[in-house]
Structure 1
């Protein structure tokens, strides 16, 4: 596995609107999903092991969950098939719930109490008022984010994030926490099947041995940043038959100048789902007129489903298919993304996606001027 970028810097950026964390290789290399949680069979409750290696004992069913971690609620809801047990979330999650389709899937998520902001420091008074059975918090962000909760008497599950393997471990842990172990195992198996399917699609293309140059961008206060090979975007780019033009940059989320973009001259530019940047604005920037992706109208806004598709989430197999179709438009019919999108929302959330909702998830409006995007209408 590839190590993640420095956690404090990256995750503060994520809370403020950045995306994509550490990458991973093919799923076949990540089958162990360590560390595994332990369930004490025959006991009245259960014990699980979090990603700090800490064992947490529960004497009965968990009915109330609070989490400071931004992507956790969508994954908990996917494993549970419900938002009913989630009582506290991060401020950034609440914003996404109001802006994206998750608030349609689970209307109560638009009004969920917030227990932390971009720095992930918990508001202990709010947590006390919510009286959760457990709090889900980052396990690698230092004692300052966990100790106040444990000192207040709460059980805390500490998680780490960024690779495909770590995401699969989350699914395992949430399966145990929610009493949905079989469902969780099925979701991980499904991800492995989707990984194999996408790789097979890509291998069938004439240029399978000639990866498509891709640049991932997110806005920053002073311009743009991208992601190197330690980031999760590198995983889905390579899986889909692309090559990250910034993969060999020294830092995990390097700044990108216009001059550097022109030097890389990517064939495709993908704009993060964590900020308001759009292909239209990108095309209108005269400084970028010479960029191949601009000339060929191959700039695309990454979809926003139940969660943003840039970083690891339960909808990541949809991101793999979407990226493969962006890089290889001829695959549109075989990939069948809209059908997979509807199937996935039924699988994860029990929701029958309308055509209009699918259009919104895929940003058909924002991507309307980009080459080949009509392929996502069918």
Structure 2
């Protein structure tokens, strides 16, 4: 009930607050600019105001080039660049993730350059930050529509998973394959999107409490065996997650795991970006994970249908464009054929 009230408050806020002047020269800077780009392009014509962005390709391709053919013409600069580089683009506004505030705020303020910091880490923060972008871009009505779309799809999932008893929830382990590509596995912190998705999808994240840090933490094979999860989901940000899942299943050290023995090791779906992370695609990750964990509970929900609707509503891909530009990039163990 509290979450519903907060959501309604966000929507009301962006509908009644007066529009600010739309910023005409926007720069995306700092870490996580790819997620900032995915968020700003939720708004039609916002890309026309974007003049430069910091690098953020995770290795599976540049999604924004599919959304905006002119994106490749915009200036890409290093994500560690200083304020002098940012100022050289003469921005009206610099958008950054909140993790970059301490690095940039004072120096940009000294130059008189306006900034907006977005969290973009949890579903609730996405609702707040989309509302903020609606004000900044002068399109509060569309911001409310986007929030409503997310909230409606999230409600379809959580209205069912919140009614499950503990005994009805499988033990889930989400693991990221380390960048080295070898059999080194990492778990996310408790507060991150991956843990939130596992819980809201109706699972019990067995790693919860094991990583109290601020980043991915390596776990041993012995710890994985001790957790003995019912389901394992493998994340790979730079290559096909299904291949990483196969490697996990073939690791003799893990052969006794319940998830391995019962064939419940899956590659987390991805297209240009993986669906597990705090990107606009988090709702696709929630939908897939909920249906994978509780197929009988979600027979009326299609991962394919939700994905097509997402890319159409959020980024304007019609059916033909979706099957030409997005569907061929989708990897992982989706469980349905595109």
Could you tell me the TM-score, scaled by structure 1's length? 0.74
Alpha-carbon distance between aligned partners in 2 of 1:237 and 1:316, rounded to the nearest angstrom: 11
Tell me which of 290, 298, 305 is aligned to 1:339.
Answer: 305
Residues 27 and 40 of structure 1, relative CA distance in 2, 3 Å threshold = closer
After TM superposition, the structure 1 stretch with the greater mean CA deviation from structure 2, 317-326 or 160-169, is 160-169
Name the SS of the counterpart of 2:94 in structure 1. strand
Q: Deviations for 1:214-262, whole angstroms, at most 9, x for unmatched residues?
A: 1111233682220243222222111111110011225144321111111
Q: Deviations for 1:116-169, whole angstroms, at most 9, x for unmatched residues?
A: 42xxx4333432332221101234545332333333332111233422222211
Deviation at 1:83, TM superposition (A): 2.6
Partner of 2:113: 154
Deviation at 1:329, TM superposition (A): 3.1
RMSD: 3.2
Question: Within 5 Å, which residues of 2 pair with 1:302-321?
Answer: 302-305=268-271, 307-321=273-287
Contact kept in structure 2, 1:214 and 1:267, CA below 8 Å: yes
Contact kept in structure 2, 1:233 and 1:310, CA below 8 Å: yes
Question: Within 5 Å, which residues of 2 pair with 1:1-378?
Answer: 27-28=3-4, 30-31=6-7, 32=9, 41=18, 46=20, 60-68=21-29, 69-70=32-33, 71-80=35-44, 83-92=47-56, 94-95=57-58, 99=61, 101-110=63-72, 112-117=74-79, 121-141=80-100, 143-202=102-161, 209-220=167-178, 223-252=184-213, 253-276=216-239, 278-305=244-271, 307-330=273-296, 333-353=299-319, 354-355=322-323, 357=325, 359-363=327-331, 366-367=332-333, 373=334, 375-377=335-337
Contact kept in structure 2, 1:81 and 1:349, CA below 8 Å: no
Residues 362 and 208 of structure 1, relative CA distance in 2, 3 Å threshold = farther
* Structure showing greater relative contact order (alpha-carbon pairs closer than 8 Å, 6 or more residues apart): 1
Deviation at 1:274, TM superposition (A): 2.5
Unaligned runs of 5+ residues in structure 1 are 1-24, 47-59, 368-372
Contact kept in structure 1, 2:173 and 2:207, CA below 8 Å: yes
Alpha-carbon distance between aligned partners in 2 of 1:100 and 1:273, rounded to the nearest angstrom: 16
Contact kept in structure 1, 2:119 and 2:125, CA below 8 Å: yes
Partner of 1:57: none
Residues 357 and 212 of structure 1, relative CA distance in 2, 3 Å threshold = farther
Alpha-carbon distance between aligned partners in 1 of 2:76 and 2:267, rounded to the nearest angstrom: 28
Contact kept in structure 2, 1:100 and 1:305, CA below 8 Å: no
Alpha-carbon distance between aligned partners in 1 of 2:257 and 2:266, rounded to the nearest angstrom: 14
The structure richer in helix per residue is: 2
Alpha-carbon distance between aligned partners in 2 of 1:66 and 1:75, rounded to the nearest angstrom: 13
Contact kept in structure 2, 1:305 and 1:361, CA below 8 Å: yes
Deviation at 1:302, TM superposition (A): 2.4
Alpha-carbon distance between aligned partners in 2 of 1:300 and 1:356, rounded to the nearest angstrom: 25
Could you tell me the TM-score, scaled by structure 2's length? 0.82
